[in-house]
Each structure stands twice: as C-alpha cells, then as structure tokens.
Amino acid sequence: MLNIILFGPPGSGKGTQSKKIIEKYGLIQISTGDLLRSEVMMKSELGLKAKELMMTGKLVNDEIVIGMIDNKIRENPGCAGFVFDGFPRNIKQAQILDDLFLTRKLNIDFVVSLLVNEEELIKRILQRGREQNRFDDQNELIVKNRVKLYFSETKIISDYYIKQNKFSSLNGETTIDAIFADICKIVQK
C-alpha cells in the first residue's frame, strides 16, 4: 500500500498533482476541500454549516473533516492507497490521522510539500476562482486569509512529519510535469 500526503498552501498545486499521482499509482484521492464543496453544492446540513466558515477563509471543525476522512477510508478497503490533499491542516488532524491509520495497521509513507511564494499563490487562486467558478476562490481578502492561515496554523505540521522522517519539500513553481517527476522520484526512492 502507498499513502501520500500532499502538503502546501492553497494554490500550490496539490489538487493537480494528486490527480496525476492517483492515475499513475492507482490510488484514491481524498481532498477535504472537494468533499466539503460537494456538501455545499448539495446544500446538506453539513454543507450549510461548512459554507459559512469556508466563505470567511476559516477552517471547518476538525470533527467534520475527520468524519469525512474516516468514511472515505472505510469505503475503500483493500485499495492500493490514498493521496491526502488539504488534510491534515493542524496538529490535531495529523495525530488523529495517525490514530485512524494505526487501528487499521496502515502507514503514511511520504509527506510531500509544494513550495510556492505568497504572491504567486494569491494570483493562482484568484485565476482558479474565475476559471472554475469556485465560490471560495473569488474574493481577494478571503483568499489572503486562507493563505495567511496556512502559514500561521498549518505549516507547523511539517515539524511533526520531519520528526517521523517522512517529509520532503519541492519547488512548486516549475512546470506541472517537472513537479510530478520530482514527486515520482520521492515515491520510487
């Protein structure tokens, strides 16, 4: 089994690279952002709760995202592995993912972080908002808050995975194919 966490700020290319990884290695992508957006589109109770927080660039409650991750893992027994995109986003989520994996005798193999400067991130997210009509990508102030939140709350998780000897960083400002080739090198090492 192969389990990878793609790590990095919003707009760093995690979604794009996840799609390439799942295609090449036959894995299941778990994007908490995509799962939440689909709940918002369905106007479910969870979606209505999440939308308010997403609209202001805040994180959704840990219990909600952890429940979604647990369901996805449960729904895919015996699969070749998972690519986590946008999860974990704080230490508590990282610890709970370890617990969820431990009880199933699974293991995170690699955490790959994509490095992109802040100005480029904001430009990319606003462009994505225009192209894909994503409700949470269109307001510059909210987008800036999301990027700020990554640096204040999420980036610190890198230490958690450095200690576990699972962490690598890559330049996320080259081309999609060059970044993917770098990820494959890490996986095949």
β-pair partners for 170: 114
Which residues inside 106-145 make contact with ligand AMP, applying CB under 6 A? 136
Q: Is 28 in the site for ligand AMP (CB under 6 A)?
A: no
Structural tokens at position 133: 């009509």
CA gap 88, 174 in Å, rounded = 25
Q: Is 51 in the site for ligand AMP (CB under 6 A)?
A: no
CB 87 within 8 A of CB 70: no
Alpha-helical (H) ranges within the chain are 14-25, 32-41, 45-55, 62-75, 91-103, 118-132, 140-149, 157-163, 176-188
Which of 8, 10, 81, 129 touches ligand AMP (CB under 6 A)? 10
Which of 6, 22, 60, 108 touches ligand AMP (CB under 6 A)? 60
Which of 13, 33, 81, 172 touches ligand AMP (CB under 6 A)? 33
Which of 22, 36, 111, 116 touches ligand AMP (CB under 6 A)? 36
Supply the minimum distance, in Å, between the C-beta of residue 110 and ligand AMP.
Answer: 18
Supply the minimum distance, in Å, between the C-beta of residue 189 and ligand AMP.
Answer: 27
Which of 21, 146, 157, 172 touches ligand AMP (CB under 6 A)? 146
Please list, in sequence order, all residues whose beta carbon lies within 8 angstroms of the beta carbon of residue 17, skipping any fewer than 6 positions away: 6, 114, 176, 179, 180, 183
Structural tokens at position 114: 């994509």
Residue numbers of the site for ligand AMP (CB under 6 A)?
Answer: 10, 32-33, 36, 53-54, 57-60, 65, 86-87, 89, 93, 136, 146
